Amino acid sequence: MRAVHGMWSYFKLTFASAVMLCLEIWYVQGLVLISGFLSNPTIALDSLSICLNYWTWDIEFMLGLSAAVSVRVSNELGAGHPMVAKFSVIVVNMATILISVVFSAIVLVFRVGLSELFTSDEEVIEAVSNLTPLLAISVFLNGVQPILSGVAIGSGWQGLVAYVNLATYYIIGLPIGCVLGFKTSLGAAGIWWGMIIGVILQTATLIFITARTNWNAEAAKAIDRLKKLANGSTLERLVSA
């Protein structure tokens, strides 16, 4: 029974994390599904799929840094070092922004060459080239958004971020993308603009939440959770470590 003591608290955090991440992943996959209903679905699907491949490679890189900052923030809060946690957030965001600038520049410079790695169809290459500026914007946003999500996981805000994702992606971003994609001449670019607007709103919200965070209070909450889940001697060892 002691082995499963406190399991419910971990389960709630785990479930909230799963919902938070699934809402992001399903949204991107939904864009591909929706693009199949455009007037020229073959070109739209081909161009979106190629761009999303590069977006996925970039997001996987950033998710590694997101996991790192999540662990670092949670460890420092649990150890009672709120200022170290805050400093870690600043450092990793500065680093990822610089990396994203480089990745965005690569996407813009090699906009034709990147598409030629996937296809020799001139029409698809042109469509991918037209989407490349939007891809560069998304790559740059990936330098902030996944990191802030990692900070949220490390701080235990998963439930809050799940609601933010639901509102910005599905209530705001998706309808805007559908209107721009189907009611204007933008097509696939309009659907992508919807995603960018959703990500911008999500990122702005997470920046606002993070900037207003009282890290001393978050550290106190982490210590309180430790007190509830560990006995006194275990807590002393954890804090001293």
Q: What is the pLDDT of residues 101-114, one digit of tens each?
A: 999 999 888 888 88
Which amino acid appears at position 239 of this protein? V
Query: Which of 154, 17, 161 minimizes the C-alpha distance to 78?
Result: 154
In a domain, 14, yes or no: no
Residue 2 within any structural domain of the chain: no
pLDDT (0 to 100) of residue 241: 53
pLDDT of 201 > 90? The answer is yes
3-state secondary structure 145-173: HHHHHHHHHHHCCHHHHHHHHHHHHHHHH
Q: What is the pLDDT of residue 171?
A: 92
Q: In which residue are the tokens 């739209």 written?
A: 44
Is 168 among the domain residues? Answer: yes
Domain count, the chain: 1
Provide mean pLDDT across the span 225-230.
67
pLDDT at 228 over 80: no
pLDDT band at 149 (very low <50, low <70, confident <90, very high): confident
Closest CA to 69 of 40, 32, 42, 94: 94
**How far is 27 from 25, CA to CA, in rounded Å?**
5
Residues of 50-73 as b/e, b for ≥16 C-beta within 10 angstroms?
bbbebbeebbebbbebbeebbebb
Residue 11 placed within a domain? no
Amino acid at 13: L
User: Quick check: is 8 in a domain?
Assistant: no
Please give the pLDDT value at position 204: 92
Per-residue pLDDT at 229 exceeds 70: no
Q: What is the pLDDT of residues 48-57, one digit of tens each?
A: 888 888 888 8
Residue 15 has pLDDT above 70, yes or no: yes
Which residues fall within 8 angstroms of residue 49, CB to CB, at 6 or more apart? 32
Q: ∠ at Cα 165 (81, 67), nearest 5°? A: 40
Domain with 190, as residue range(s), is 19-231
* Residue 101 pLDDT: 92
Position 236 scores a pLDDT of: 53
153 found inside a domain: yes
Query: Considering the chain, what percentage of its residues have pLDDT values greater than 90?
Result: 14
Give the other-Cβ count within 10 Å of 88's Cβ.
20
Mean pLDDT of 116-123: 86
Of 35-44, 86-95, 135-144, 216-225, least confident by mean pLDDT is 216-225
Residue 63's pLDDT band (boundaries 50, 70, 90)? confident
The whole-number average pLDDT for the span 147-172 is: 85
* pLDDT at site 232: 47
Average pLDDT, the chain: 84
Instruction: Say if 5 falls within a structural domain.
Output: no
Q: Give the integer Cα–Cα distance in Å for 211 and 209.
A: 6
The span from the first CA to the last CA of the chain, in angstroms, equals 27
Within a domain: residue 182? yes
Give 117: exposed, middle or buried? Use CB within 10 Å, 0-12, 13-18, 19+.
Answer: exposed
Alpha helices, H only, the chain: 7-35, 41-78, 82-109, 111-116, 122-141, 145-155, 158-165, 174-183, 188-211, 215-229, 232-240
* Amino acid in position 150: G
